Every structure is written in C-alpha cells, then in structure tokens.
C-alpha cells in the first residue's frame, strides 16, 4: 500500500506542497474524507482551512461510479460516459437536485456561523483523498476559478494518469503523489481507510 492512512498521505502532500509554505494558502478540502487531511496540510503550510462543497452524480446502477458532479452554485459537469452508463437527462437533473439538497444541508451544518472563506486573490489548494474519475474535483476547480484565485492547485495522494490529465485542464498546478497503472478505487491504496463522519468534519472546522 502506498499509504498507511489519510494522515500519512496528508503529511506527504504537505511536503510536496512546501513551495507554498508561509504564503498563507487557503486549503479547501472536499468533504468528508479529505477534511482531516486538509487540517494537517493547512497547519504545515501556515494556511487557512475551509471546505469546498461538491457532490458526485452517481451512475444509475452503480452508485460508486461518478457520471458527473455538481458544485454549490448548481454548475454541473457531465462526463462523456454518462449516457453509456444509463444516465438520461431526466435522471441527471433529478440526481443534481438530490445532491444540491445534501450540499445545502452540509453548508448549514459545517459553517453555520460564517460564509465560505473568500478565495479571490489567494493561493487556493483543493485537497481530496484520491481521485477516480475526477468528476468532483473538476466541479470544485471550475467553481473556484470563477471566484478568481491567484493560483489554483489540485493536491491528491493518488489518481489514475488519465484522470490527472483531465483535471490538469482546470488547475494551474496538480500535485499527485501516486499514479498507479491498475486503479479500481481510492480505498485500495490505503491500509486504513475509515469513513469520516459529519461530526468529525464539524469539530475540525470549529478548531
């Protein structure tokens, strides 16, 4: 396994991102798994932590496979494989609304007393615990680009090569520690890959 757990992966990512140390970057983690990682990276780089809320659109008959994604503004990314996976326009719209409801609930729960931290003019580092299709990362980067960061960086421990190439179109820099040839799921590259609950996310953001 390349990584023992998310913490180890986060420390390795922080080292790979050391060029941004003491530049007060805004580290935006994709909930939920990447939020503990984002805390480690933000602390190591002398930055600030927040979340970027995006949700994948799952395939009709395979909920683990993303055929697209939606960001907090409602912008939707739909992959070229969506139709082949059985996703009709009606299904995509229905799933989009369902995921937007989850995003709204999470925003109210995660940061009830403040708005999202403004990324304009900041070095923004978007962190996830790994990419499979890259759909959620693409939605996150697209939405953030509209808000005019000074530099937009994607940082992940592991992803397939073709996904890294796809995501690179949306970022100024992509930092990916491992690009294995055989890739089935992000969790296969961690010895310990537990679920991260909403309660843990809230506690980390409060700190």
Model pLDDT for residues 92-150, shown as the tens digit of each residue: 999 999 999 999 999 999 999 888 999 999 999 999 999 999 999 999 999 999 999 99
Distance, CA of 28 to CA of 42 (rounded, Å): 9
Report the predicted TM-score, pTM, of the whole model to 2 decimal places. 0.92
Q: Which residues partner with 3 through β-bridges?
A: 190
Mean pLDDT value of segment 58-82: 92
Q: Which residues partner with 190 through β-bridges?
A: 3
Q: Record the tokens describing residue 99, joined without a space.
A: 């995921």
Q: Which residues contact 64 (CB under 8 A, 6 or more apart)?
A: 58, 185
Q: For the segment 169-204, what is each residue's pLDDT rounded down to a tens digit?
A: 999 999 999 999 999 999 999 999 999 999 999 999
Q: For the segment 77-94, what is each residue's pLDDT rounded down to a tens digit?
A: 999 989 999 999 999 999
Distance, CA of 193 to CA of 107 (rounded, Å): 24
E strand or H helix at 55, and its extent?
strand 54-59
One DSSP character per residue, 10-41 reads HHHHHHHTGGGTTS--EEEE-TTTHHHHHHHH
Closest CA to 176 of 132, 114, 118, 206: 132
Contact between 59 and 65 (Cβ < 8 Å): yes
E strand or H helix at 50, and its extent?
strand 48-51
Q: Which of 28-32, 50-54, 175-179, 181-185 has the lowest mean pLDDT?
A: 181-185
> Residue 64 above 90 pLDDT?
no
Calculate the average pLDDT of the chain. 95
Task: Give the per-residue pLDDT at 188.
Answer: 95
Contact between 17 and 40 (Cβ < 8 Å): no
Distance, CA of 26 to CA of 118 (rounded, Å): 9
Q: For the segment 40-49, what is each residue's pLDDT rounded down to a tens digit?
A: 999 999 999 9
């Amino acid at each position: 396994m390349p990584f023992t757990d998310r913490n180890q992966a986060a420390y390795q990512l922080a080292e790979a991102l050391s060029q941004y140390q003491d530049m007060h970057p805004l580290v935006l983690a994709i909930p939920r798994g990447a939020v503990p990682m984002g805390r480690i990276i933000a602390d190591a780089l002398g930055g600030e932590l927040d979340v970027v809320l995006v949700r994948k659109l799952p395939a009709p008959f395979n909920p683990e496979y993303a055929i697209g994604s939606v960001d907090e503004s409602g912008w939707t990314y739909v992959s070229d494989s969506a139709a082949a996976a059985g996703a009709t326009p009606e299904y995509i719209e229905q799933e989009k609304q369902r995921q937007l409801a989850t995003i709204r609930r999470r925003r109210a729960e995660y940061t009830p007393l403040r708005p999202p931290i403004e990324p304009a003019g900041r070095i923004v580092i978007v962190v996830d615990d790994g990419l499979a299709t890259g759909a959620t990362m693409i939605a996150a980067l697209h939405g953030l680009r509209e808000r005019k960061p000074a530099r937009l960086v994607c940082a992940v421990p592991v992803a397939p090569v073709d996904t890294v190439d796809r995501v690179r179109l949306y970022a100024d820099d992509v930092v990916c520690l491992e690009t294995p040839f055989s890739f089935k799921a992000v969790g296969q590259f961690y010895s310990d890959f537990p679920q991260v609950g909403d309660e843990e996310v809230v506690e980390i953001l409060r700190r």
